[in-house]
């Protein structure tokens, strides 16, 4: 198999996830797009590991070991991320990223009055 | 590119041309098209629950790609962890944040076109560089599988034992962290609900759901 096929698929998936992270408004959908980007990296790692283990007789299998570590860390990341999103939702009543602007400058007019009152309280 | 190197590249690619693909390549291409299409629907659909379900199609397609690359163990781990638990966690997250079931018109933010420009520019640059670099590189998929459970386990427990054990500590820390975040948020919500009952606005309904 040409190495270009998995490499191109991985690049396309990564850019799809990049678009999702930048364009989505719901925090859970942003986490889904982050998962897409992580999976693109995993596909690259596996493809290059298979290529190197055949071509260079590399027996360390670092690509597949790193893929397993990435999968485990992604599972931990999604657990912590969802816990944070749920905590934000309980405190604010929204998981809309565009409305969480307490630390931003110049966006004071965008936040609704109730949120501002709660943030300053 | 001068003609001599172009001729050299075509000669090197002549043994494995792009125009006479093998069966594995055709299968990889078809599954790849399905995977990429499902990923596009995941980031562009306006129904939030459908996005999670299309993510299942994307992750399952990637598992098939791992199988085609003879990485069996990674494929089954992908099915178990991603399709089995991460998507379920995401669905729970959508449910607990009360995502609307039908179409939600504000799923995309205002900087959608800027995001599209950035993504297309990044895709064009990455694909161009990757194709130019690995045009003639060939993966030999014959012979024993390079990612079977035996091979992966041997390399993992011979060369990667220390990172493996460190990873278990990290998973424990993540577990404790998730529990602490949830419990602390609950205590804070109870305190704010006791002092100003109308501000959170959703706590009583959430208790009813539970």
DSSP string for residues in A48-60: HHHHHHHHS---S
Calculate mean pLDDT across residues A21-35: 92
Which residue of chain B comes nearest to A41, CA vs CA? B62
Calculate mean pLDDT across residues A92-115: 70
3-class secondary-structure state, position A84: helix
CB contacts of B24 in chain A (<8 Å) are 1
Q: The complex's ipTM?
A: 0.84
Residue A13 domain-assigned (yes or no): yes
pTM for the complete prediction?
A: 0.81
- Whether A39 shows a pLDDT value over 50: the answer reads yes
Calculate mean pLDDT across residues A74-83: 93
Please name the member of A36, A54, A121 whose beta carbon is closest to the beta carbon of B58: A36
Residue A103 domain-assigned (yes or no): no
Which residue of chain B comes nearest to A95, CA vs CA? B97
At B87, phi and psi to the nearest 5? Answer: -70, -35
Residue A102 domain-assigned (yes or no): no
Calculate mean pLDDT across residues A8-26: 94
B62 closest CA partner among A64, A51, A79, A9 = A9
**B74–A64 CB contact, under 8 Å:** yes
pLDDT for B12 equals 47
- Residue of B58, B81, B86, B198 to mutate, interface with A, max A Cβ within 10 Å: B86
Residue A116 domain-assigned (yes or no): yes
Distance CA B71, CA B151 (A): 10
From first to last of the 210 residues of chain B, give the pLDDT tens digit. 455 554 444 444 456 777 678 889 999 999 999 999 999 999 999 888 999 999 999 999 999 999 999 999 999 999 999 999 999 999 999 998 887 777 877 778 778 899 999 999 999 999 999 999 998 888 888 888 888 889 899 999 999 999 999 999 999 999 999 999 888 655 565 666 665 544 444 444 444 444
For residue B1, the distance in angstroms to the closest alpha carbon of chain A comes to 19
Look up the CATH number of the domain holding residue A22. Answer: 1.10.287.3510
Longest dimension (CA), chain B: 79
pLDDT for B8 equals 46
Distance CA B180, CA A64 (A): 32
B25 and chain A in contact, CB less than 8 A: yes
Which residue of chain B comes nearest to A17, CA vs CA? B43
Residue A66 domain-assigned (yes or no): yes
Residue A81 domain-assigned (yes or no): yes
**A65–B159 CB contact, under 8 Å:** yes
pLDDT for B22 equals 85
B201 and chain A in contact, CB less than 8 A: yes
| Domain residue limits at A38 | 4-97+111-120
State the total domains in chain A: 1
Residue A57 domain-assigned (yes or no): yes
**A61–B140 CB contact, under 8 Å:** no
As to burial, measured by CB atoms within 10 angstroms (0-12 exposed, 13-18 middle, 19+ buried), residue B109 is middle
Residue A93 domain-assigned (yes or no): yes
- Which residues are within 8 A (CB) of B164 and not within 5 positions of it... i.e. 6 or more apart? B156, B157
Q: Of A28-37, A44-53, B89-98, B103-112, which gets the smallest average pLDDT?
A: B103-112
- Which residues are within 8 A (CB) of B49 and not within 5 positions of it... i.e. 6 or more apart? B91, B94, B99, B101
């Amino acid at each position: 198999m040409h190495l270009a096929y998995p490499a191109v698929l991985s690049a396309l998936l990564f850019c799809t996830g990049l678009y999702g992270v930048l364009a989505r408004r719901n925090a859970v959908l942003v986490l889904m797009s982050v998962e897409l980007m992580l999976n693109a990296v995993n596909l690259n790692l596996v493809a290059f590991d298979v290529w190197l283990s055949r071509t260079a007789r590399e027996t360390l299998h670092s690509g597949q070991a790193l893929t397993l570590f990435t999968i485990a860390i992604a599972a931990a990341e999604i657990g912590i991320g969802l816990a944070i999103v749920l905590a934000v939702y309980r405190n604010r009543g929204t998981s809309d990223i565009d409305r969480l602007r307490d630390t931003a400058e110049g966006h004071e007019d965008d936040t609704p009055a109730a949120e501002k009152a709660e943030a300053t309280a | 590119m001068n003609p001599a190197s172009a001729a050299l590249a075509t000669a090197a690619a002549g043994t494995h041309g792009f125009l006479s693909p093998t069966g594995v390549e055709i299968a990889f291409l078809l599954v790849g098209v399905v995977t990429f299409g499902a990923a596009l629907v995941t980031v562009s659909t306006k129904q939030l629950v459908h996005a999670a379900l299309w993510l299942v199609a994307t992750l399952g397609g990637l598992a098939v790609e791992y199988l085609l690359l003879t990485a069996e163990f990674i494929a089954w781990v992908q099915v178990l962890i991603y399709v089995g638990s991460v998507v379920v966690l995401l669905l729970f997250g959508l449910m607990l944040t009360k995502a609307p079931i039908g179409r939600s018109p504000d799923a995309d933010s205002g900087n959608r076109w800027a995001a599209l420009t950035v993504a297309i520019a990044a895709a064009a640059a990455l694909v161009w560089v990757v194709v130019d670099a690995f045009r003639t590189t060939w993966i030999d998929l014959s012979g024993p599988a390079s990612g079977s459970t035996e091979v992966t386990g041997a390399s993992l427990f011979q060369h990667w034992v220390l990172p493996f054990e460190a990873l278990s500590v990290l998973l424990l820390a993540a577990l404790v962290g998730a529990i602490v975040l949830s419990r602390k948020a609950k205590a804070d919500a109870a305190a704010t609900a006791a002092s100003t009952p109308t501000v959170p606005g959703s706590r009583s309904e959430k208790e009813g759901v539970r």
